[in-house]
Structure 1
Amino acid sequence: MVVGDFVVRLSYKKDLLFRVIEIDNKNDVAKLKGISYRIIADAPIVDLELAGGMRFTSDESSTMEIIESNVRTILREHKGLDANKLQKVVKVLHIDGDPFYLNVCLRYYELLGVSAVGENVLESQQPIKVKELISIHNPDILVLTGHDSLNKTYTSTEDILEYRNSKYFIEAVKQARIIKPTTEQLIIYAGACQSHFEGILSAGADYASSPSRVLIHALDPPFIVERIAYCPFYKVLPIEEALKYTITKHKGLGGYDTFGKSRMGGNLERSALLKASVENS
């Protein structure tokens, strides 16, 4: 077994597919990164089995079928929009502590018709960099994520010190709100697996993870963002609708009802006819 191998954990009944990112030969332990879920874990090498050419475990394959079905449904909804009307492009800034998950999300933003730019910034650096990146990209929606976890031996879920990176997400949200104080100016989603949900919301986020301190799926952020981006600015987006196509739903994600960000404008067909008329005169 070497770094880069894909493996499953026997003690967890091969539920998730991982990639080996580090091996401690002295203690016979491997550090693993989840492929579908935002998880970094340590496991004894004897508990691991090479996955061969497996792309997903059986559980993950079922989830991918749901994701593909959701994407098809969303794209059908988009086809129902009036193609002859102008639509303001909603800008998304996704700041992620993990480049692999960031690239996965960026691919799905594109597939879902959402204009997004990604920045790979370590969780501990996000509070330092977030204001600068907002100034550069001027987004309508901000996503702050990466890795997080709750200590295995935690005594209280309320103690921020029990979490790996929640304090950084909380501080990054606070920094973002210094320059974009209101939801009308900037909608914020923040958090990762097992994050301190209540603390992140209290800091000023509109959506956060993880209410039940569970793992979140890598594609949860794009599915929330798509709902916000395509909801009209004058219409309230209920939390149930925001989470409609997410994988982990209410256990992994939550937040407040917000107004959407979509704005429709003048008729493109009329504009094209006027342009043609001017050119022919």
Structure 2
Amino acid sequence: MDIKINDIVGRRSYNCDILFRVIDIQKISGQTVVILYGEDFRLVADAPYQDLMVINPNERLKLTKEYRTLEEQSLRLFTQDVDLLRERQEYEATSGYVKPSSYFQIPGKVLHLDGDPAYLKKCMALYEKIGVPVLGIHCNEKEMPAKIGGYMDYYRPDILVITGHDAYSKAKGKMTDINAYRHSKHFVETVREARRKVPHLDQLVIFAGACQSHFESLIHAGANFASSPSRINIHALDPVYIVAKISFTPFMERINVWEVLRNTLTGEKGLGGIETKGVLRTGMPYHPVQEEE
């Protein structure tokens, strides 16, 4: 079967353990090489044409069912967390009085830069479902450092997400060498540019990285949370769960790193970070304006 752009494929040499989308097909030194983006993981890879097989819809459904179940479980646990946060906020905002008081909440605004338009669409749907105010922009990873300043001036976010695709290549160097990674250096440069705008870690909270990204460099550049401590693949939706937790945590509270990671799909092997304050603010009173008849 011929392989075309946007086909969903698996690598025979890896027993088709991960589903990929075909992004490009190139001729390199007489060999046909296919550029692949992970369908559920933020991984970029290339493979020989002959190593790939197209996954038919029935097989694809079976392989993705496990991931959908994990996504539903994470969303359920996250929703429980947010409900508890809101209940506590309501109690504190009204000082526990029996008399009902009206108040309003302003969750943190998110600016999400993503190198993959399909993943960005998935993330935007989840942000909407959870109720996080967000501006999502598709931006090629290599262009992010030059464009981030303008985007921040326009949107002035509380939380910044810098993500897309990445991968470590043993053939390019040691795991400590940032040049052995597909896009880590671009993510690092983008974090540095963002920190030139807002240096304080609690005035702008940054998540940066993708699959197998150089975690230490991203944290040292100024990210609050990043991937990937153990250089493993991270799920497409993991950044959303992290920043949504931050968005709904009151600004007077510190966020325990483990509490942020526990409901992600990847956990502490794929994600990590430093102690960070929340960005939610509560105000009173809330009086909805009624139009005069």
Normalising by structure 2, report the TM-score: 0.86
The match for 1:139 is: 157
Matched residues in 2 for 1:57 and 1:38: separation? 19
Where does structure 1 lack aligned partners over 5 or more consecutive residues? none
Matched residues in 1 for 2:224 and 2:192: separation? 12
The list of structure 1 runs, each at least 4 consecutive aligned residues, that deviate by more than 6 angstroms after superposition, is: none
- For the residue of structure 2 that corresponds to 1:4, the secondary structure is coil
The one-letter amino acid paired with 1:148 is: D
Instruction: Tell me the CA shift for residue 239 of structure 1.
Output: 0.6
Where does structure 2 lack aligned partners over 5 or more consecutive residues? 91-101
Change in CA separation of 1:196 and 1:59 when aligned onto 2, cut-off 3 Å: same
Instruction: Pick one of 8, 11, 32 that aligns with 1:9.
Output: 11
Instruction: Pick one of 53, 67, 73 that aligns with 1:69.
Output: 73
- Conserved 8 A contact 1:163-1:195: yes
The match for 1:225 is: 243
Residues 64-103 of structure 1: matches in 2 within 5 Å? 64-79=68-83, 81=86, 84-103=102-121
Change in CA separation of 1:170 and 1:246 when aligned onto 2, cut-off 3 Å: same
Matched residues in 1 for 2:52 and 2:275: separation? 43
Instruction: Tell me the CA shift for residue 47 of structure 1.
Output: 2.6
Number of residue pairs matched? Answer: 275
1:177 aligns with 2:195: yes
- Conserved 8 A contact 1:217-1:248: yes
Instruction: Tell me the CA shift for residue 40 of structure 1.
Output: 2.0
- Conserved 8 A contact 2:37-2:165: no
1:30 aligns with 2:34: yes
Instruction: Pick one of 235, 258, 270 that aligns with 2:276.
Output: 258
The one-letter amino acid paired with 1:7 is: V
Normalising by structure 1, report the TM-score: 0.89
The match for 2:142 is: 124
- Conserved 8 A contact 2:45-2:167: no
Q: CA RMSD in A?
A: 2.3
- For the residue of structure 2 that corresponds to 1:23, the secondary structure is strand
Instruction: Tell me the CA shift for residue 59 of structure 1.
Output: 5.3
- Conserved 8 A contact 1:16-1:57: no
% identity of equivalent residues: 41
